[in-house]
């Protein structure tokens, strides 16, 4: 953060790379409020329009924070995974609990998978958009096998259009 402040004081031109680096630092440091303050200031104070990479950093930040109910739709977002899992179970889905890293009981493992950041992003999209809206989830990390299977099933049984995206890899469902 000090280097960023030095850059601002020195009068150097702030670039998109500067902001992505700053937001990544906030993500790794868990600095939720500072990241959002900067995201808002980028356009107003520095004249830089946020790009998809910036929002990817913010999604990573939110996912790393876990159950963040400060979001206006936080409670709705965290209710949606159960609803999705119940619907998918009726279509033959069962959580791939073997990919869960914690040594906990099956219901807890299923829940820990259900709240992976990619799935929460989809839940947010499902509760926040109209039918036919393209849901695009961008991540800079690997998607676990269970999330990948779940996303494919959601794409088949929901009228929403889904597109998962990883920096250089874009599967279409």
H or E element that contains 139: strand 134-139
Residue 173 lies in a domain: no
Residue 127 lies in a domain: yes
Residue 22 lies in a domain: yes
d(CA 28, CA 57): 10
Note whether 45 and 102 are same-domain residues.
no
Residue 78 lies in a domain: yes
Note whether 81 and 139 are same-domain residues.
yes
Task: Decide: 151 and 162 in contact? Cβ < 8 Å.
Answer: yes
Residue 172 lies in a domain: no
Task: Decide: 157 and 88 in contact? Cβ < 8 Å.
Answer: yes
0.75 exceeded by pTM: no
17-59 per-position pLDDT tens digit: 888 888 888 777 777 788 888 888 888 888 887 777 777 777 7
CA 171 to chain centroid, in Å, comes to 17
Task: Decide: 124 and 78 in contact? Cβ < 8 Å.
Answer: no
Residue 36 lies in a domain: yes
Strand partners, 139: 166
Note whether 31 and 95 are same-domain residues.
no
- Whether the pLDDT of residue 150 is over 60: the answer is yes
Note whether 87 and 112 are same-domain residues.
yes
**Residue (of 63, 73, 157, 166) closest to 119 by Cα position:** 63
Residue 171 lies in a domain: no
Report the pLDDT averaged over residues 135-157. Answer: 79
**Residue (of 107, 103, 101, 86) closest to 150 by Cα position:** 86
Higher pLDDT, 168 or 99: 99
* Residue 107 CA neighbour count, 13 Å, CB half: 1
């Amino acid at each position: 953060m000090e280097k960023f402040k030095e850059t601002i004081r020195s009068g150097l031109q702030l670039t998109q790379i500067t902001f992505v680096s700053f937001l990544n630092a906030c993500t790794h440091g868990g600095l939720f409020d500072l990241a959002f303050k900067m995201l808002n200031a980028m356009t107003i104070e520095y004249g830089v329009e946020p790009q998809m990479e910036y929002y990817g950093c913010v999604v990573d930040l939110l996912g790393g924070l876990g159950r963040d109910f400060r979001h206006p739709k936080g409670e709705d977002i965290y209710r949606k995974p159960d609803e999705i899992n119940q619907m998918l179970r009726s279509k033959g889905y069962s959580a791939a609990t073997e990919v869960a890293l914690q040594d906990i009981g099956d219901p807890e493992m299923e829940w820990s998978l259900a709240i992976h950041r990619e799935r929460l992003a989809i839940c947010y999209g499902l509760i926040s958009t109209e039918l036919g809206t393209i849901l695009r989830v961008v991540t800079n990390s690997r998607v676990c096998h269970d999330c990948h299977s779940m996303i494919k099933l959601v794409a088949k049984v929901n009228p929403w259009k889904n597109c998962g995206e990883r920096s250089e890899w874009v599967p279409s469902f």
